[in-house]
């Protein structure tokens, strides 16, 4: 028996073509046969039970912090890849705010190669827009593109200088590359710990106003209009941001956007217990924002769910709120949270978790594909009706800063197939 031959039996296949009860046979990394009740040959292939399950294209995360190189106390490419695979992801875009920064060929190649060695998902490094994410000097876009970088971002901070951002868009656009913005006008958020609103006023914590995000969303939409170059807007968190993107799309601009599971499930009220696990950037907003972001995902204003998976060691989250670093885990809970709070069908969920982000990340040749003969076998098998709670001690991630302790989640990944190999079988990583 070889691991390269798999048969998924009894599942319901969901992709852009609809929902169909089909078995799926995989060999040498490719889907070789689909049909009703295919005959299994246990001597030649591994049979994976997908009875009652949803089978669809593996998820693609536009926004993962793998923390390696430099911050391997929080996460490594190995542990982050395992968390991704368990969450149903077959590809992740690794954010560039590592130490050193992913601003040169050497660091990017290190991340890419380490991802390949681990082999649990496609690790696609992003590049920073500016050297050291310092907002001053552009990185070598063309050199980085030559080693596989498609998405560039200074995530962790926004590019503050509008003139520089304009030049970066002009330069990236003609190379066919995508710039992604962390929208935050830093002059409005000095020292901010949480959303500026009723809750922060009561708690006496410095506020992060919604406008600090919306001003940069608006600025970059106008820069997109001026340059014609595409812009991707990271982790949108406010109602007005969603409106601005919706209007830009109506104008036909090449703007895309993502939203995180936590910005559609949690509000600033969570900070009332002064628990730094709920400190994140951009911050958790109000229920009205949560509802607006959900609507944006459902009506197409926002193209993708992206995790902003941001591991931090426990001691860092035990520091006073102003010192504790922002960010929360996301890879292993993204499906469970999204299914719980978004009232939609599986086709739409795959659009938001797989097809949409694959297109944006420039990975649509291998990920987010239809489940058809000849297609690369990057697939996820989901128990759709399982209700579960996250066990912070049982996560594959090296950190345990999940905000979802005690919250009921719905739907769970059973198997993940990456390049034709079963990397997760029955919720366990298969190394």
Partner 1 sequence: MSERRHFRSIAEVGVDSVRRLLDLTDHMAEVSRRPNPKVPALRGRTVCNLFFEDSTRTRMSFDTAAKRLSADTMTLAVGSSSVNKGESLRDTVETLSAMGVDAFVVRHRTAGVPWQISGWTDAVVVNAGDGWHAHPTQALLDAYTIMNRRGTKNFEGLSVAIVGDIRHSRVARSVTEILTMLGATVTHVAPRTLLPPMNPTPSTHALDDLIGSVDVLYMLRIQTERMGTGLVPGGSEYTDRFALTPSRARRLRPDSLVMHPGPMNRGVEITVDPSELPQSVITAQVTNGIAARMAVLFDLLGSTAGLEEG
**Interface residue with partner 1, options 58, 197, 282, 326 (CB under 8 A):** 197
- The DSSP string of 277-302 is GG--SSPP--HHHHHHHHHHHHHTSS
CA 317, 319, 323, 325: dihedral to nearest 10 degrees? -10
- Which are the catalytic amino acids? 308
Q: How many residues form the binding site for partner 1 (CB under 8 A)? A: 21
185 interacts with partner 1 by CB under 8 A: no
Closer by beta carbon to partner 1, 272 or else 431: 272
Contact with partner 1 (CB under 8 A): which of 39, 43, 202, 374? 202
Smallest separation, CB 272 to partner 1 (Å)? 9
- Beta bridge partners, 48, equal 8
Residue from 322, 372, 387, 428 touching partner 1 (CB under 8 A): that is 322
**Residue 405, interface with partner 1 (CB under 8 A)?**
no
Q: Which of 62, 74, 121, 200 binds partner 1 (CB under 8 A)?
A: 200
Q: For the residues of 143-197, what is the DSSP string, one character each?
A: HHHHTT--EEE-TTS----HHHHHHHHHHHHHTT-EEEE----GGG-TT--EESS
Smallest gap, in angstroms, from Cβ of residue 357 to partner 1?
34
Show the tokens assigned to 428.
């366990």
Q: CB-based contacts of 50: which residues, under 8 Å, 6+ apart?
A: 8, 9, 10, 11, 381, 414, 415
CB of 34 closer than 8 Å to CB of 373: yes
Peptide bond into 206 cis (omega under 30): no
**Rounded Cα distance, 68 and 238, in Å:** 30
Pairing mode of beta strands 5-9, 304-305: unpaired
Nearer to partner 1, 116 or 319 (CB): 319
User: What is the maximum span of the chain, computed from C-alpha positions, in angstroms?
Assistant: 66
Q: Which of 310, 258, 297 is nearest to 94 (CA)?
A: 310
DSSP 3-state of 313: coil
Nearer to partner 1, 33 or 318 (CB): 318
Nearer to partner 1 by Cβ, of 166 and 279: the residue is 279
Nearer residue to partner 1 within complex by CB, 318 or 385: 318
105 binds partner 1 (CB under 8 A): no
Strand arrangement, sheet containing 46-49: 30-35, 23-27, 5-9, 46-49
**CB of 198 vs partner 1, minimal distance in Å:** 5
- 321 lies in the site for partner 1, by CB under 8 A: yes
Establish if 417 lies at the interface with partner 1 (CB under 8 A). Answer: no
Interface region with partner 1, contact rule CB under 8 A, candidates 108-116, 168-176, 193-201, 368-376: 193-201
Which of 207, 261, 283, 326 is in the footprint of partner 1 by CB under 8 A? 207
Question: Helix H segments across 300-420?
Answer: 314-317, 334-341, 346-350, 356-360
Residue numbers 281-320 binding partner 1 by CB under 8 A: 315, 318-320
- Considering the rule CB under 8 A, would residue 375 count as an interface residue with partner 1? no
**Using rule CB under 8 A, residue 213 touches partner 1:** no
- Residues 229-288 within binding reach of partner 1 (CB under 8 A): 273-275
In the bound complex, what is the minimum distance in angstroms from residue 425's beta carbon to partner 1?
38
**196 counts as binding partner 1 under rule CB under 8 A:** yes
In angstroms, the CA 106 to CA 333 distance is: 32
Q: Write the binding mask 111 to 140 for partner 1: x where contact by CB under 8 A, - elsewhere.
A: ------------------------------
Strand segments (E) across 10-79? 12-15, 18-21, 23-27, 30-35, 46-49, 54-57, 59-64
Binding status of residue 423 toward partner 1 by CB under 8 A: no
Reply yes or no: is the peptide bond before residue 74 cis, omega within 30 of 0.
no
Q: Beta 18-21 vs 12-15: how paired, if at all?
A: antiparallel
Tell me: does residue 203 bind partner 1 (CB under 8 A): yes
Closer to partner 1 by CB, 135 or 207: give it: 207
Q: Which residues make up the interface to partner 1 (CB under 8 A)? A: 196-198, 200-205, 207, 209, 273-275, 315, 318-323
């Amino acid at each position: 028996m070889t691991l390269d031959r798999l048969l998924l039996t009894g599942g319901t296949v969901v992709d852009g073509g609809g929902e169909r009860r089909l078995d799926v046979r995989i060999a040498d990394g490719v889907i070789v046969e689909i049909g009703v009740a295919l005959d299994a040959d246990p001597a030649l292939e591994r049979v994976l039970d997908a009875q009652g399950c949803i089978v669809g294209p593996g998820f693609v995360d536009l926004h993962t912090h793998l923390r390696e190189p430099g911050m391997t106390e929080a996460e490594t490419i190995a542990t982050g890849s395992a968390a991704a695979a368990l969450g149903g992801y077959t590809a992740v875009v690794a954010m560039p705010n590592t130490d050193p920064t992913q601003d040169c060929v050497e660091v990017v190649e290190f991340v890419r190669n380490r991802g390949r060695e681990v082999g649990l998902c496609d690790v696609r490094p992003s590049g920073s827009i500016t050297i050291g994410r310092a907002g001053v000097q552009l990185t070598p876009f063309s050199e980085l593109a030559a080693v596989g970088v498609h998405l560039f971002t200074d995530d962790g901070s926004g590019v503050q200088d509008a003139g520089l951002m304009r030049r970066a868009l002009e330069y990236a656009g003609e190379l066919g590359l995508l710039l992604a913005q962390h929208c935050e006008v830093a002059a409005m958020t000095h020292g901010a710990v949480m959303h500026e609103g009723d809750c922060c006023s009561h708690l006496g914590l410095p506020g992060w106003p919604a406008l600090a995000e919306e001003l940069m969303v608006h600025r970059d939409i106008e820069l997109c209009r001026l340059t014609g170059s595409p812009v991707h807007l990271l982790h949108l968190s406010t109602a007005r941001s969603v409106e601005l993107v919706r209007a830009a799309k109506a104008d036909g601009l090449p703007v895309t956007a993502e939203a995180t599971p936590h910005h559609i499930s949690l509000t600033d009220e969570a900070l009332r217990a002064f628990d730094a696990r709920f400190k994140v950037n951009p911050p958790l907003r109000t229920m009205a924002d949560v509802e607006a972001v959900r609507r944006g995902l459902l009506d197409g204003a926002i193209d993708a769910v992206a995790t902003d998976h941001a591991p931090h060691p426990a001691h860092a989250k035990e520091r006073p709120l102003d010192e504790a670093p922002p960010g929360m885990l996301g890879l292993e809970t993204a499906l469970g949270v999204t299914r719980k709070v978004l009232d939609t069908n599986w086709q739409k969920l795959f659009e938001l978790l797989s097809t949409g982000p694959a297109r944006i990340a420039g990975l649509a040749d291998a990920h987010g594909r239809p489940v058809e003969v000849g297609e690369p076998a990057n697939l996820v098998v989901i128990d759709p009706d399982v209700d579960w709670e996250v066990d912070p001690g049982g996560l594959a991630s090296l950190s345990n800063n999940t905000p979802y302790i005690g919250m009921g989640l719905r739907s769970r990944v059973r198997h993940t197939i990456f390049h034709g190999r079963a990397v997760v079988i029955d919720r366990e990583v298969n190394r």
